[in-house]
Structure 1
Amino acid sequence: MFPQIFNTLQQSGWKLVALEGNWVSATHESLNRGLIFGNLNELPQDFKPILQSSDLSQWDVIVFCPQGIDSSDLKKHHFAGLQLWYWDIQTGNLFPFPPTNDTLIPNWLRQLASGKDALSGFAKPDVEDFKPFLTYVLFGINIVVFILMTLAGGSENQSVLIAFGAKVNPLIQAGELWRFLTSVFIHIGFLHLLFNLYALWSLGPISERNFGHWRFLVIYIMSGLGGSIASYFFSTALSAGASGAIFGLLGALLYYSLKRPSLWKSGLGMNLVIVIIINFGFGLTQPGIDNYAHLGGLIIGFLTTMLLSKLSVN
């Protein structure tokens, strides 16, 4: 059975690597999933060295139990960031620990055991049904703030900009540190709003799908703050806008493609580099564009994504 599983995986585009103790890892970049297979009596003390070599978002460990499984075995081992599945070979039952309602792995293993196509039940999870709801929320917040500013006297009115929380260096120096965050949701004029909403609509869903809802939000907020702080240190002008956060998403996707050679070879990575260069070039030639915020957001987005990826395997 086991050779058949590994052979089918390899034929289905999975990359198999032999590990210590007769364990095997299987990774699939486009599915963003990793699987680790091995016997219960050879279960290692730590999977961290295996996970550190990859940046996949989800890992499952399939533990073969040829002699059956005792309930006490389920609680003996716990690995952060990993879902274990104890497969009782004698009965065909699958026991997850920690407990989970995920039905993907059980259904897929049943298909394998019956000799069906390995990937017929292992489609990329929820791609069609995925809803980037945080992108929608951020999109809505920017529109609502812009409408309120328009009703208050106009988004290009300096007093309105200051009242709504634009980045103003003297006020930040006076203690209004909250402006680093509020300025991310303020736009100066309709075209400024339109360009940033278009960028968010283009980059938000793919970022939220690849990184997950809450990691996407962390990247967005941290990048926005990074852009505001960079602008504070290197520009005395009043400024506002989501550009730092948008560039942070570019930085995050750049890191994502760098860690996945297949995506880089497909052209995604180089396309991101070209987009970044064009936007910086446009900012250098056009007045009133805060390239310091762009650069700050880009760097923080890249670094935040790198840190989150490290934390996910620790």
Structure 2
Amino acid sequence: MSEYPDPVPAGPPPDPDRRRRLKRPTPYVTIGIIVLCIGVYGGGRLWSELESTLIFAPWLGEDQPYRFLGSAFLHADFWHLIFNMYALWLVGQAIEPVFGWWRFTCLYVLSAIAGNVAVLAFADPTGASWATFVVGASGAVFGLFGALFALSKGLSRDTTPLLVLLGINLILGFVVDGISWQSHVGGLLAGLLIGYLYTKSRRTWANVLATVLIALVLAGITFYIYAT
């Protein structure tokens, strides 16, 4: 008889994918934005002045520039909110852990602002578009999808499904009334650029510099349009 116990049969090898899933950081910024949007929607139902305070229109942005960002947290109705928050959750929990909280926050904020800058750029100061109201997080969400595309290309992933999804949603913006295609295009382009720059270099100073430069470009475009 052996004085050593019989060896215990080895279990199945650890699943590295499962281990990575278990270690995936919680997307706190994504969750925070969703909670904030829900809170703003609820607050708007109780206090109507909240909507008039945050809503964006080209003629309002010159004297109240905070609306370029504030309107991204405001939604027209329940289903508008649900659709945007679902899309935000899908892409946010995928890329926030990759970029990190502060890069993700800058990406979201700049994409939201870029969406409204595009609305301003395409508006006619003498026409109805100058007074058209714009609300919703869709410009920012398109920016996140643009960054996801840039990230996927950088990792040599297949981007065909993402391109199809983006294409369908962009087309809807052109053919369905009440959807701001300008905001979608502006947010998407900003997200593509920011995502590319963040993916190309992970150095903090380079990402901070890229963020500041893009913010200055958006501010410069806005100033130029209002000045002329």
Q: What's the TM-score once normalised by structure 1's chain length?
A: 0.55
Which amino acid letter does the alignment assign opposite residue 214 of structure 1? W
**Where does 1:283-294 land on structure 2 (aligned, <5 Å)?**
283-294=173-184
Q: Verify the 8 A CA contact 2:43 2:50 in the aligned structure 1.
A: no
Name the structure 1 match of 2:71: 183
Listed one character per residue, the Cα deviations across residues 109-154 of structure 1 (whole Å, up to 9, x for unaligned) are: xxxxxxxxxxx8x87985313211111100100000000001114x
Distance 2:34 2:104 in 1: 14
Please, which of 86, 93, 103 is the counterpart of residue 215 of structure 1? 103
Please say if 1:227 is aligned against 2:227. Answer: no
Residue among 272, 297, 300 paired with 2:190: 300
Taking the aligned partners of 1:168 and 1:125, their CA distance within structure 2 comes to 47
Q: Deviations over 1:225-253 (max 9, x none)?
A: 11111112213311011001100011001
Give the corresponding residue for 2:22: 128
CA RMSD of superposed structures (Å): 2.2
Asked whether the 8 Å contact 1:162–1:168 carries over to 2, the reply is: no
The answer as to whether partners of 2:151 and 2:199 remain within 8 angstroms in 1 is: no
- For residue 239 of structure 1, give the secondary structure of its aligned residue in structure 2: coil
Cα distance in 1 for partners of 2:18, 2:95 equals 16
Q: Distance in 2 between matches of 1:152 and 1:279?
A: 32
Equivalent AA in structure 2 for residue 243 of structure 1: S
Quick check: 1:275 aligned with 2:165?
yes
2:39 alignment partner, one of 124, 135, 144: 144
Matches within 5 A, 1:246-257: 246-257=141-152
Cα deviation per residue 1:154-199 (whole Å; 9 max; x = unaligned)?
A: xxxxx65322x111222212x2111101011111111111110111
SS in 1 for 2:21: coil
Q: Secondary structure at the match of 1:128?
A: helix
Once residues 114 and 85 of structure 2 are traced to their aligned partners in structure 1, the CA distance between those partners, rounded to angstroms, is: 19
Q: Which has the higher strand share?
A: 1
Aligned to 1:204: 92
> What amino acid does structure 1 have at the position aligned with 2:60?
L
**How many angstroms apart in 2 are the aligned matches of 1:178 and 1:126?**
39
Distance in 2, matches of 1:309 and 1:260, equals 9
Distance of 1:125 and 1:229 partners within structure 2? 42
**For 1:217, what is the secondary structure of its paired residue?**
helix
Gaps of 5+ in 1: 1-119, 154-158
Q: Which has the larger radius of gyration?
A: 1
Q: Distance in 1 between matches of 2:147 and 2:100?
A: 12
Counterparts of 1:310 and 1:259 in 2: how far apart (Å)?
A: 8
% identity of equivalent residues: 32
User: TM-score w.r.t. structure 2 length?
Assistant: 0.74
* Partner SS, residue 209 of structure 1: helix
CA distance in 2, matches of 1:209, 1:149: 31
Q: Would you say the 8 A contact 1:167–1:232 is kept in 2?
A: no
Between Structure 1 and Structure 2, the one with more helix by share is 2
